[in-house]
Chain A
Amino acid sequence: MTKTGLVFFPAFDWAIAPDHPEREERLLYTRDQIFEEGIMDLPQVVEMAPRLCREHEIRRTHFCVPDVASQTTEAHLIAAGAAQVLGDEIVAGRLQNGFAVVRPPGHHAMRVVHGNRGFCNINNEAVLVEYLRRRHGIRRVAIVDTDVHHGDGTQDIFYHDPDVLFISFHQDGRTIYPGTGFTHELGGPNAFGRTLNIPLPPGTTDESMLFVLDNLILPVLADFAPELVVNSAGQDNHYSDPLGEMLITARGYATLTSRLRPHLAVLEGGYAVESALPYVNLGIILALAGLDFDQVREADYPRTFYEDPARRPRLEKMVADLLQIWRMKDRMDLGAVFGHEEFYRREKSVYYDTDGIEEKQVETVRVCRECPGFLNIDSRAVHPDGRPVNVLALSVPLAACNRCRTLAYDAYAAARANAASYHHIHLQDKSTDTFLAFDVAGNRETVSEG
């Protein structure tokens, strides 16, 4: 019997700030519940210790500014390492599935990292995906984000990657942080349709959430046929969460997990530390282990939630439209959507709420028939003290064609020769697992090789 692996890393000695929601206490009652239940003694469960994610493995995903050390604490390396430990075992077939119940979370961390946003610095799932692709030759991965907040970091990282399907349902971005995740965000020209967003109105119940799962997410997953399904298992859709306004129950989350059957779940948000987390985490673990979760109930059970049936037709239409887009994604005239240039440009403003940093990005991807295309990101951040930090970030995909790789290295050399407009110039070559960083003021290049 292959088992369900658990890495439980509550980081009881780590917090963003003493009174911040992302604090030491967050998984305390979850610890109490799963230890009291004797979960780690169950024959279907095996508890594993995390390891430390290596700096090189983080550079395979992120452009940390100015470097990895300044954007991470030990807790970040352990949380990312926890997902890797489980990933190794699952890919090797020694575990049926796994759950990294870890802090700090990561799904708001984007490709370029100037600071902390949405409680995140390092994207645990993205680091894992790049690790599994390089280490184990995995190609197609699906990430399903079930946090109440749009997984904008994960979306950003894989927006141009045709081999990673990113699906996020969340509370409508017009009503909650980070204000994105609308249905028209569907991926770039090389990966159109590989990003799907399902914004749900506040007050959404288990029934509507499971409707989206059954009628959109599961059919799309079956069609995409990924080698690995990762669940960004945020728990703040729970009815008692202080940050979200949704009405999902612990059993709703457990049911979702039992139908989604992810290979790996990674904890994201969820800040009802007493009224939700102990029950939702327990429900997810039991569902992964194939055990009965009917007895998992919050303390104020029974509660029944009512959702206005008049809202249903809009949900059904959104699901039908997205399913149609998914089915048509490879037959559509993408030139009409993205233009016919060799390079597709998009401009983004990113706000780092925790650190008060404002960033303007111009992201250019080469529209390439041979490979996912190299990326050129011009990132200009302004720190709260007015200090500007300008970065050029070049990313060469794992399956890069020669042309894209050459263009990226040319751009790196050109920027170095005429470095006046940047403080840092980074080149991330995933095809050779080589990462270069040039510090303009110090006139110093660092190279990291796998």
Chain B
Amino acid sequence: MFIGVDVGGTCTDAVLLDKGGVRATAKVTTREDLLASLTEALDQVTVGVGREEIERVNLSTTLITNLVAEKKYDPVGLLLIPGPGVDARGMDWPGPTCFIPGAVDYRGREIAPLDTAAVAKAAADFRDRGITRVAVAGKFSNRNNGHELLARDTILGVVPEMKVELGHQVAGALNFPRRAVTAFLTAATRERYRFFAEAVLEALARRQITCPVFVLKADGSTCPLAYSVQQPVETLFSGPAASTLGVQALTPPGETVVVVDIGGTTTDLALILSGQPLLSARGARVDGQLTQVRALAVHSVPIGGDSVVDRVGREIIIYSERAGPAFCLGGPLPTPTDALRVLGLTLQGDPDRAAEAMNALGSVLGCDAPATARKVVDLFVDSVAREINLMFAEWHKEPAYNVWEIMQKHQGRNRGLQTVVGVGGGAAGLTARVAAAVGCYPVMPPYAPVANAIGAAVARPTMQVSLRADTQAGYYLVLEEGLRDALPAGATEEDVMGIARLWLAKRAARYGLTVGPEVEVTRREVFNMIRDWRTVGRLYDLSIQTSRGILAYIGTGGAVHD
């Protein structure tokens, strides 16, 4: 049996899956104490279940998202080594920042040595300002981490108790500003996340739940809870990933669908293309900050079932704020949920209070409650439909750098959307309308209100390795490990792929996973380096991963994939 728990902003949902079927579900209100909400939902679905029957618990938590959004993190100093190029001083950085001379180029060659005196001075300055955490990030540190390592040693030499995070360890892809922000957020949240993870493990132990415990990441894969403290920011935004995976589990394999998750304050949109959730090209955006966190491409529309609806002049407007539950559920102000209640599209809440809310809005416009409710629903549907079309258009316009990719896109450009799958609290009343507005078929899968918890339950660990090898310079890098090692002369693509597989197995073993023979190659770049009409070496850039996918499709008669 698998358990999935999704601690969301409004609700905490849990499911118990047994042989590809849903055996129990729970929904509780998320309180300030996330751990208490989590255990409450967990206890509800495990009533009468033998502890030894539980094979795996998967958690998805909004903790990091909340910490970042509410800026409830510890102060962090940024120590940047930008080198030449874009003027880093002219950019917005999330915390107090020091710029240190030193430079590395795109092939990892040192252009200018690190100014360690400047690093030492910056460390002392940070200490004097009461800052106990520092994030270090260098331009091209993913190609040569020497300066970041030296900076850390220098900082610790001056302030031994300083907690230091290094950019190349948390963000191995090209993009220095995102690397710096990702390192910053890692430094900012790691300790609080560690407390939370330890508390969860302790609470489970108290319940004699000793099976493996995983946490959902933003890219829809999981990671053992104990290891997730190394990269806490990867758990950012796992909520939308949970619903998307839930839809994947609740619809037939291989479908192309739009996921519309209508919650209390936001409506999250995601794409599943031929059965695989679409990843965002460059990484997650967190509270306006751009990171390198691998994440599903989720568009958030800032309106949901509990959004405040108001009238300004003769216009009805849906605001992005929530003032409490819907009026018909005892809340203070009219909401889209009240409109749905009036139209009979939901049966939750008091119909008289819903009508009262709509009348308060519409009477001045000369509209009765149903007419006003229709206006509100139309407004909601139009906003969501517009975002769906925008998201799809953006996906089509995503740049590609090879001829074959562009040709593939060109040939497939007329293949449009066909299915809208609605999940979340507001899905029942709105999915059909949203689907109609974008010319698609609506699907409301069973268990739609707890699709997020199902998604958490069926997620499985995926391990990546990105390897870069430079035969001319004679080294290779494993980006996820921050490792640089010598490459045998004349290494072929097969040799390099072999090294990547080895590291994939090594990393997986550390997570308690075994790597099967089927490995997915997600990126493959091979370049001959030509100088003076002669081939002087090769550059290989390979990314491989254990296959993506989910543990089970619900309702397929217990087909479990692992």
**Residues of A near any B CB (own CB < 8 A):** 7-14, 18-19, 21, 23-25, 28-29, 31-33, 35-42, 47-52, 73-75, 78, 242, 274, 278-279, 282, 286, 291-292, 294-297, 299, 301
**Additional A-B contacts beyond A7-B399, A28-B527, A37-B85 (10; CB < 8 A):** A11-B403, A38-B176, A38-B177, A39-B86, A49-B396, A49-B398, A74-B403, A74-B407, A282-B85, A291-B86
How many angstroms from the CA of A12 to the CA of B533 in the assembled complex?
A: 18
- Which residue of chain B has its CB nearest to the CB of A75? B403
CB-CB contacts below 8 Å: B97-155 with A: 105-107, 109, 111, 139-140
B90 within 8 A of A: yes
Residues of A within 8 A of B535 (CB): 18-19
Contact B528–A24 (Cβ < 8 Å) = yes
Contact A13–B174 (Cβ < 8 Å) = no
Contact B176–A36 (Cβ < 8 Å) = yes
CB-CB contacts below 8 Å: B162-193 with A: 174-178
Contact B106–A36 (Cβ < 8 Å) = yes
B314 within 8 A of A: no
How many angstroms from the CA of A242 to the CA of B529 in the assembled complex?
A: 15
How many angstroms from the CA of A44 to the CA of B111 in the assembled complex?
A: 28
8 closest A-B pairs by beta carbon, nearest first, are A32-B106, A35-B174, A38-B177, A297-B84, A36-B174, A292-B87, A13-B402, A37-B86
Residues of A within 8 A of B290 (CB): 38, 41
Residues of A within 8 A of B533 (CB): 19
Contact A299–B406 (Cβ < 8 Å) = no
Residues of B in contact, count (CB < 8 Å): 42
Contact A286–B86 (Cβ < 8 Å) = yes
How many angstroms from the CA of A25 to the CA of B530 in the assembled complex?
A: 8
Residues of B within 8 A of A35 (CB): 174-175
B32 within 8 A of A: no
Contact B399–A12 (Cβ < 8 Å) = no
B115 to chain A, nearest CB (A): 16
B97 to chain A, nearest CB (A): 15
Residues of B within 8 A of A11 (CB): 401-403
- Which residue of chain B has its CB nearest to the CB of A74? B403
Residues of B within 8 A of A24 (CB): 527-528
Residues of B within 8 A of A32 (CB): 106, 140, 174
Contact A36–B139 (Cβ < 8 Å) = yes
Residues of B within 8 A of A31 (CB): 174, 401
Most B CB contacts (10 A, CB to CB) among A18, A32, A48, A296 go to A32
Contact B530–A8 (Cβ < 8 Å) = no
How many angstroms from the CA of A146 to the CA of B467 in the assembled complex?
A: 38
How many angstroms from the CA of A33 to the CA of B175 in the assembled complex?
A: 9
Among A8, A14, A21, A274, point to the contact of B403 (Cβ < 8 A). A14
Q: How would residues 529 to 555 of chain B score, 1 for a CB under 8 Å from any chain A CB and 0 otherwise?
A: 110111100010000000000000000
How many angstroms from the CA of A282 to the CA of B290 in the assembled complex?
A: 21
A240 to chain B, nearest CB (A): 12
Contact B177–A41 (Cβ < 8 Å) = yes
Residues of A within 8 A of B403 (CB): 11, 13-14, 73-75, 78
B83 to chain A, nearest CB (A): 9
How many angstroms from the CA of A372 to the CA of B372 in the assembled complex?
A: 64
Contact A294–B105 (Cβ < 8 Å) = no
Contact A294–B175 (Cβ < 8 Å) = no
B322 to chain A, nearest CB (A): 29
How many angstroms from the CA of A294 to the CA of B89 in the assembled complex?
A: 12
- Which residue of chain A has its CB nearest to the CB of B90? A292
Residues of A within 8 A of B539 (CB): 25, 28
Among B109, B140, B175, B527, point to the contact of A25 (Cβ < 8 A). B527
Most A CB contacts (10 A, CB to CB) among B406, B409, B534 go to B406
How many angstroms from the CA of A47 to the CA of B175 in the assembled complex?
A: 15
Among B107, B396, B404, point to the contact of A13 (Cβ < 8 A). B404
How many angstroms from the CA of A39 to the CA of B86 in the assembled complex?
A: 8
Among B106, B398, B532, point to the contact of A33 (Cβ < 8 A). B106
Contact B402–A278 (Cβ < 8 Å) = no
How many angstroms from the CA of A19 to the CA of B533 in the assembled complex?
A: 5
Contact A296–B174 (Cβ < 8 Å) = no
- Which residue of chain B has its CB nearest to the CB of A7? B399
Contact B85–A296 (Cβ < 8 Å) = yes
Contact A29–B402 (Cβ < 8 Å) = no
Contact A78–B106 (Cβ < 8 Å) = no
- Which residue of chain A has its CB nearest to the CB of B86? A37
**Residues of B near any A CB (own CB < 8 A):** 84-87, 90, 105-107, 109, 111, 139-140, 174-178, 282, 290, 396-404, 406-407, 409-410, 525, 527-530, 532-535, 539
How many angstroms from the CA of A286 to the CA of B87 in the assembled complex?
A: 10
Residues of B within 8 A of A8 (CB): 399, 401
A289 to chain B, nearest CB (A): 10
Can you name 23 A-B pairs with beta carbons within 8 Å? A7-B399, A9-B399, A14-B403, A21-B530, A23-B528, A25-B527, A25-B529, A25-B530, A31-B174, A33-B85, A35-B174, A36-B106, A36-B174, A37-B176, A38-B176, A41-B178, A48-B399, A49-B397, A49-B399, A49-B400, A74-B406, A299-B109, A301-B84
Most A CB contacts (10 A, CB to CB) among B90, B174, B397, B403 go to B403
Most B CB contacts (10 A, CB to CB) among A19, A38, A282 go to A38
How many angstroms from the CA of A32 to the CA of B534 in the assembled complex?
A: 22
Residues of A within 8 A of B178 (CB): 38, 41
B548 to chain A, nearest CB (A): 24
Residues of A within 8 A of B105 (CB): 299
- Which residue of chain B has its CB nearest to the CB of A38? B177
Contact B401–A10 (Cβ < 8 Å) = yes
Residues of A within 8 A of B529 (CB): 25
Contact B401–A9 (Cβ < 8 Å) = yes
How many angstroms from the CA of A8 to the CA of B535 in the assembled complex?
A: 25
A16 to chain B, nearest CB (A): 12
Contact B399–A47 (Cβ < 8 Å) = yes
B474 to chain A, nearest CB (A): 17
B177 to chain A, nearest CB (A): 4
Residues of B within 8 A of A13 (CB): 402-404
Residues of A within 8 A of B407 (CB): 74
B128 to chain A, nearest CB (A): 29
How many angstroms from the CA of A297 to the CA of B105 in the assembled complex?
A: 11
Residues of B within 8 A of A28 (CB): 527, 539
Contact A52–B534 (Cβ < 8 Å) = no
How many angstroms from the CA of A294 to the CA of B87 in the assembled complex?
A: 8
Residues of A within 8 A of B175 (CB): 35-36, 38, 41
Residues of B within 8 A of A286 (CB): 86
Residues of A within 8 A of B398 (CB): 49
How many angstroms from the CA of A14 to the CA of B178 in the assembled complex?
A: 30
Residues of B within 8 A of A51 (CB): 410
Contact B528–A25 (Cβ < 8 Å) = yes
Residues of A within 8 A of B399 (CB): 7-9, 47-50
A296 to chain B, nearest CB (A): 6
Residues of B within 8 A of A274 (CB): 106-107
Among B84, B85, B107, B401, point to the contact of A12 (Cβ < 8 A). B401
Contact A41–B85 (Cβ < 8 Å) = no
Among A18, A29, A41, A52, point to the contact of B410 (Cβ < 8 A). A52
Contact A78–B406 (Cβ < 8 Å) = yes
Contact B402–A295 (Cβ < 8 Å) = no
How many angstroms from the CA of A299 to the CA of B410 in the assembled complex?
A: 39
Contact A18–B528 (Cβ < 8 Å) = yes
Residues of B within 8 A of A23 (CB): 528, 530
Residues of A within 8 A of B109 (CB): 299
A12 touching B106 in the complex, CB below 8 Å, given contacts A28-B527, A292-B90, A295-B85: no
How many angstroms from the CA of A383 to the CA of B525 in the assembled complex?
A: 36
Most B CB contacts (10 A, CB to CB) among A12, A52, A294 go to A12
B134 to chain A, nearest CB (A): 21
A73 to chain B, nearest CB (A): 8
Contact B525–A12 (Cβ < 8 Å) = yes
Contact B86–A19 (Cβ < 8 Å) = no
Most B CB contacts (10 A, CB to CB) among A7, A10, A78, A279 go to A78
Contact B282–A41 (Cβ < 8 Å) = yes
